[in-house]
Amino acid sequence: MPKKPVTFMLNGAEQAAFADDGQNLLDLLRRGVGDLAPKYGCGQGGCGACTVLIDGVPHLSCLVLAETVDGRRIETASGLAGARLHPLQEAFMAHFAAQCGYCTPGMLMAAKALLDQNPRPSREEVVEAISGNLCRCTGYEPIIEAILSVANGGARA
């Protein structure tokens, strides 16, 4: 089965990989490129654990055909921290916004997409922004508080 070359920016660095026909982006990122941050939770677009940003917009990578990201800019949770952690990462830690941690990479990307577009969201807007991401552990409140704490100008311990 011939593979298709796909070239894209991943967390600021150029990546090249080969996609099988019909392969989804989640699988390409995890197995093809070795970025294990986005997770498999359902393969149906229901849980959001696979959320990545494509050109700044949140997508369900399990439902994105891998070859369609050629030339695009992808961000995953692996790229949030530089020399220092991203404020959202600090806030999640401070607010106990992760327990098992499995939904966390997807949640962080949904939150980042929101704050990049809307630095001072209302609580309603935060709820809407993470409405495509399921969490079975925290009950969502700590996550919403963590995001609001960044929105209001810096992680609060």
Partner 1 sequence: MSEGMIEFRKEFFADERDDTLKEIGRPTRRQDILGHVTGRSPFYDDHLFQGLLHMRCARSPHHAARIRRIDTAEAERSPGVVRVLTGRDVPLNLNTLLSLLDFGIDDEPLLSTDRVRYRGEPVAAVIAETEAQARAAAAKVRIEWDPLPHVLDVEEAIRPGAPAVLDVYPGNRFVYHGTYDHQKLRYGDVEAAFRAADHIVEGRYQMSPIEQAPIETCGAIAAPETNDRFVCYTSTQALFFSLATTAKVLQTPSSRLHFIGGTVGGGFGGKVDSVHEPLAVLGAMLTGRPVKFMWDREEEMQVGAPRGAERWYIKDGVMRDGRIVARKFTGYFDSGAYTRLTSYAVIKAVGHLPGPYTIPNVHADVSCVFTNRTPATAMRGFGITGVDFAIEAHMDKVAETVGMNPIDLRILNAYRDGDMKAHRRLAKNCALIECCQVVAEKAGVQLSNASRAASSRQGGGGDRALLPAYTALDQAGRVSGFEGGSYARKAARSRPAPQPVPPAPGPIGRRATTQPPPQSAPQRPRAAEPPPAAAATPPPPPPRQGPIRFSSLSGFRRR
Partner 2 sequence: MSVVVETYATATEAARALAGGDALYLAGGTLAMRSVNAGEAPRRLVRTTDRALKEITPAGDVVRVGAGVTMRELLASRELGFLHAAGRQVGGPQVRAMGTVGGNLFAPHPYGDLAVALLALGARVLLAGQSGARPLADLLRDRARAGLVTHLEVPRPREPRAFGFLKAARVHPRGASVIAIAALLPREGGRVRGARVAYGAMGPAPLQATSVERALEGQALDRATIDRAVAAAVQGLDPPTDALASSWYRREVAGVHLRRLLESMERG
Interface residues with partner 2 (CB under 8 A) are 1, 4, 20-22, 24, 43-45, 48, 51, 57-60, 62-65, 67, 110, 113, 127-129, 131-133
Q: What is the DSSP string of 92-134?
A: HHHTT--SS-SSHHHHHHHHHHHHHH-SS--HHHHHHHTTT--
Site map 3..32 versus partner 1, x via CB under 8 A: -----------------x-x-------xx-
Q: Which does 14 bind (CB under 5 to 8 A by kind): partner 2, partner 1, none?
A: none
Nearer to partner 2, 22 or 153 (CB): 22
Q: Which does 123 bind (CB under 5 to 8 A by kind): partner 1, partner 2, none?
A: none
User: Which of these, 9, 29, 11, 10, lies nearest to 19 by C-alpha position?
Assistant: 29
Q: For residue 21, give Cα distances in angstroms to 5, 24, 65.
A: 11, 9, 9
Q: Which residue's structure tokens are 């209302």? A: 122
Nearer to partner 1, 33 or 69 (CB): 33
Q: For residue 87, give both structure tokens.
A: 């404020």
**121 touches partner 1 by CB under 8 A:** no
Which residues lie closer than 8 Å to 84 by C-beta, 6 or more apart? none
User: Which of these, 139, 82, 131, 86, lies nearest to 106 by C-alpha position?
Assistant: 131
**Which chain residues interact with partner 1 by CB under 8 A?**
20, 22, 30-31, 34, 36-44, 46-47, 49, 76-78, 80-81, 85, 88-89, 92-96, 98-105, 108, 134-137, 145, 157
